[in-house]
Structure 1
Amino acid sequence: MHMIKLCVGISTLEELESYRAERAHWWGADYGADVHVHRTRMMPKRAEEIEGSGSIYWVISGVIRCRQPIIRLAAATDGEGKACCDIIMAPDLIRVSPRPKRPFQGWRYLAPKDAPRDVGAGELDEGGSAELAEELARLGLL
């Protein structure tokens, strides 16, 4: 099982890469050096299905563009004393076949059968640009 989440305030994959590098340990929790942490309000009820085998798929500017493998989910407490969940991820951003996605609140589950496939570094550029791939995906042709 996977998760899908909007990247609010991020408009490109490159901007997400820069943001993640700057704030890899923003929440102050020490989960190790080679991880990124995203804090969310709710602990997934299906955590056991996600930990170690799932990914978080990032929606950037209305398009699913990449994923990060989820290492584990940790119960945490925010600065106001409210329970929350830290999503501890590998730092790798893995590009996926672009797929349009309408806005939604929070995060959602994403079944493996519905997840976009990974693409190689040069795969989007062989037959055209990333923009062309996104347009083909929007039209249902990719």
Structure 2
Amino acid sequence: MGNHVNLVKLCVGAEKVEDLTAWQNMRRGLTGLPNPRHVTRMWPKREAELLDGGSLYWVFKGLILARQRILHLDEVIGQDGIRRCALVLDPQVVRTESQPRRAFQGWRYLSPEDAPRDLKEGTDPNQDPLPAKLASALADIGIR
């Protein structure tokens, strides 16, 4: 992977990672598409960097908990005639260390240095060693 950049987005309507995977599986069953897609209003200006190994990091109830690799971007024209961007994602949802994130609209860029690490295989995702408040305080001073 070269000089990539990531996106971070609130996972609206989902309280946990399993909600996201269930919804994506249901949508893929309805559409017949092999990969999950997330349609967004704005087309990322840093497209080349996203496609150089970037992921979409999902925020659940104030915490980044998972990511999906961005495979490519597709143009989608809505029923209203407006051009939108479909982020075509790898179906594999990778759990990450939890990282506090305040609410925001749309999506934001996330540098690889600021992204939470993937959880090691076999790690219990429900057992974060630090309480959310402490993790947030550490993140605010740049330690976690």
TM-score of the pair, normalised by structure 1: 0.85
Which blocks of at least 5 consecutive residues in structure 2 are unaligned? none
For residue 15 of structure 1, the aligned residue among 4, 8, 19 is: 19
Alignment-derived partner of residue 53 in structure 1: 53
Query: Hey, what does 1:138 align to over in structure 2?
Result: 136
Aligned pairs, number: 135
Aligned mates of 1:66, 1:132 — CA distance in 2? 17
Secondary structure of 2:23's counterpart equals: helix
Q: Partner of 1:83 in structure 2? A: 83
Q: 1:103 to 1:25 in 2, by over 3 A?
A: farther
| Percentage of matched positions with identical amino acids | 36
**SS at structure 2 position matched to 1:23:** helix
* CA distances 1:66-85 after superposition (whole Å, capped 9, x unpaired): 00000011222112110100
Return the alpha-carbon distance in structure 2 between the equivalents of residues 122 and 49 of structure 1. 30
Instruction: Identify if the C-alpha distance between structure 1 residues 24 and 46 changes in structure 2 by more than 3 Å, giving closer, same or farther.
Output: same
- Structure 1 residues not aligned, in runs of 5+: none
Q: TM-score, normalised by structure 2?
A: 0.84
> CA–CA distance in 2 between the matches of 1:138 and 1:132?
13
Once residues 77 and 15 of structure 1 are traced to their aligned partners in structure 2, the CA distance between those partners, rounded to angstroms, is: 27
Distance 1:133 1:37 in 2: 32
